[in-house]
Structure 1
């Protein structure tokens, strides 16, 4: 077989497989953007979960999208029906890599540190858990490693349809909140992260209002209802939109906000991609920390537990409320 670099440069069809959550997809799109801008002759396909569809609809850097749910046997069906010259696995799963191997996808690129890494024929020697880079940079680095070229890491702004923009503008008018004169607090994390207590978010929302006059809109999905209600009950001036918005509507809402405050979860990355200021609350362990998963934005502040004790470095109760308030006020006044 030809050298991996040669296969890439002679390739026409490239696939990127990312079938997990919203935030992961936001941080994978820079990789696709880097490929398309540096190698415009390549046809890029994205293999994903349909849950992320609204993020990637009308993305100018993607030629084809294949959703697992559209094929009766999922990724097996995709690889049986589609042949690619190169397949990147930024966050590999065994069944996905095995399917690519069994269907003879020509060049399979992924981590050298999985028990099934023998299934890759170009291996990336990077321990992401050490957080020496940001997740978005790790993804772009896969392409740099293969091609030998230095590439830019840039977030991709979601495309928001006029229909959803109008819906959110109408909603904001009913609350007299036009002109980025509100913040968003998203207290849940979908179980993907350690969380600051909703009581703290409630006190924060009220404190920000008292010092800036900015009201808080509370967002979340069905699993966050209890947390959002707690925030709403403490912050009397807040408006609770929990479980009332589709993902498309939430993205449009975020684009109109002055600041988003949340635990480590996908909405942080959506806000950063939209150019909205972000305050993120994170644990300290490297594989969970803002070094790897923080908002990829200069207009952001990340706060972690104030503890040097490794046994308590991820205790979100040790996050200093006053530091969070100071960070929120700093970003609001920018």
Structure 2
């Protein structure tokens, strides 16, 4: 390894993004934890991710809320608390700070302010990055998972595989059981029509048609979504001819994970739940509306079918993939 184990006792990981983004880094962080088994690993992220670090407490030891930064759209920049955050980061005295946010064009200068002994991550031509041999030219190709594994390999850390994970707790299973859904494992399909940004959402009438098809094949259709996605899940349900089971706003992330684990199939946009299906090896049909199916689609293209809607905006393509997977799991 480029940085000896005995020198690295505290590691900070900067990735202030959403669920799918973090899940895609787990294979890299798994390798990092194996390489530095006794180091303290702390995530610097968005507020929601504190619970993520607790779920993955075999990899993470702590969490700090990142207060935003100009040029990062995920949250507003809080200029009043940012200086205190920098002071806090400097007081932590990280031995290694990993920039896993992206190409580094925006955040690499900021990373220097944290005062870590070593800073590593991604860089891109024409933008600042320390000339320390620890920055990798951003691989603007391939899957998000493999991009971060490549960063670990650049640091001399062995690849432990690209499989995703999502640990479930007993509390997750109890919560799901308390809903008393009249479903049996492998006899229902999860339909998740929401995602961040309307431009990433497949038309609701198409989700409704696929849900009806699955019900006609003898499966229950379980609609999932957050409270904020109520309008879109209600729109799907209103266009169905059959009756769906609506869990909108009734489940935590863990309970949704448990639902997806035991489902026969997931139908969703290319969003966080598609990575849960990949982690559980639950078959899925994923509609990519952002033009990057190669980056965000599940790696197992036999069990998971990702449709690039920008190139093939044809409902029948999605329908055929759904039929094929339903027949394979029947």
TM interval, short-chain normalised = 0.7 to 0.9
Q: Which residue of 2 aligns with 1:311?
A: none
1:113 aligns with 2:99: no
1:319-330 equivalent positions in 2, closer than 5 A: 319-330=313-324
Which of 237, 246, 259 is the equivalent residue of 1:253? Answer: 259
Which of 23, 27, 32 is the equivalent residue of 2:24? Answer: 27
Which of 85, 89, 93 is the equivalent residue of 2:95? Answer: 85
Please give the alpha-carbon distance, in whole angstroms, between the structure 2 residues aligned to 1:253 and 1:120. Answer: 47
1:304 aligns with 2:301: no
Please give the alpha-carbon distance, in whole angstroms, between the structure 1 residues aligned to 2:170 and 2:52. Answer: 15
1:163-182 equivalent positions in 2, closer than 5 A: 163-171=171-179, 174-182=180-188
1:295 aligns with 2:298: yes
SS of residue in 1 equivalent to 2:48: helix
Which of 219, 222, 242 is the equivalent residue of 1:217? Answer: 222
Alpha-carbon shift at residue 144 of structure 1 (Å): 0.3
Q: Which residue of 1 aligns with 2:65?
A: 68
Equivalent residues of 1:198, 1:227 under 8 A apart? yes
Equivalent residues of 2:8, 2:36 under 8 A apart? no
Equivalent residues of 1:257, 1:276 under 8 A apart? yes
Structure 1 residues 91, 258: closer, same or farther in 2, change over 3 A?
Answer: same
For residues 123-156 of structure 1, what are the alpha-carbon distances to aligned partners after superposition, in whole Å with 9 as ceiling and x for unaligned?
211342xx2x210110111010121x54133344
Which of 275, 279, 287 is the equivalent residue of 1:273? Answer: 279
1:125 aligns with 2:137: yes
Equivalent residues of 1:277, 1:299 under 8 A apart? yes
Please give the alpha-carbon distance, in whole angstroms, between the structure 1 residues aligned to 2:297 and 2:285. Answer: 9
Alpha-carbon shift at residue 199 of structure 1 (Å): 0.6
Equivalent residues of 1:75, 1:99 under 8 A apart? no
Equivalent residues of 2:105, 2:128 under 8 A apart? no
Alpha-carbon shift at residue 189 of structure 1 (Å): 1.1
Equivalent residues of 2:207, 2:236 under 8 A apart? yes
Alpha-carbon shift at residue 164 of structure 1 (Å): 2.2
Which runs of no fewer than 5 residues in structure 1 stay unpaired? 306-313
TM-score normalised by length of structure 1: 0.82
Alpha-carbon shift at residue 214 of structure 1 (Å): 0.8
Structure 1 residues 98, 76: closer, same or farther in 2, change over 3 A?
Answer: farther
Bigger drift between 98-107 and 64-73 goes to: 64-73
Please give the alpha-carbon distance, in whole angstroms, between the structure 2 residues aligned to 1:11 and 1:163. Answer: 34
Please give the alpha-carbon distance, in whole angstroms, between the structure 2 residues aligned to 1:66 and 1:57. Answer: 9
SS of residue in 1 equivalent to 2:286: strand
TM-score normalised by length of structure 2: 0.83
Alpha-carbon shift at residue 6 of structure 1 (Å): 4.2
Equivalent residues of 2:90, 2:115 under 8 A apart? no
Q: Which residue of 1 aligns with 2:147?
A: 138
Which of 39, 45, 48 is the equivalent residue of 2:45? Answer: 48
Please give the alpha-carbon distance, in whole angstroms, between the structure 1 residues aligned to 2:7 and 2:184. Answer: 51
Q: Which has the higher helix share?
A: 1
Equivalent residues of 1:26, 1:155 under 8 A apart? no
Please give the alpha-carbon distance, in whole angstroms, between the structure 2 residues aligned to 1:117 and 1:111. Answer: 10
For residues 195-251 of structure 1, what are the alpha-carbon distances to aligned partners after superposition, in whole Å with 9 as ceiling and x for unaligned?
2201110011111221x2112111122332222112112222212222222223222
Please give the alpha-carbon distance, in whole angstroms, between the structure 1 residues aligned to 2:6 and 2:144. Answer: 25
Structure 1 residues 127, 140: closer, same or farther in 2, change over 3 A?
Answer: closer
Structure 1 residues 66, 75: closer, same or farther in 2, change over 3 A?
Answer: farther
Alpha-carbon shift at residue 60 of structure 1 (Å): 4.9
SS of residue in 1 equivalent to 2:44: strand
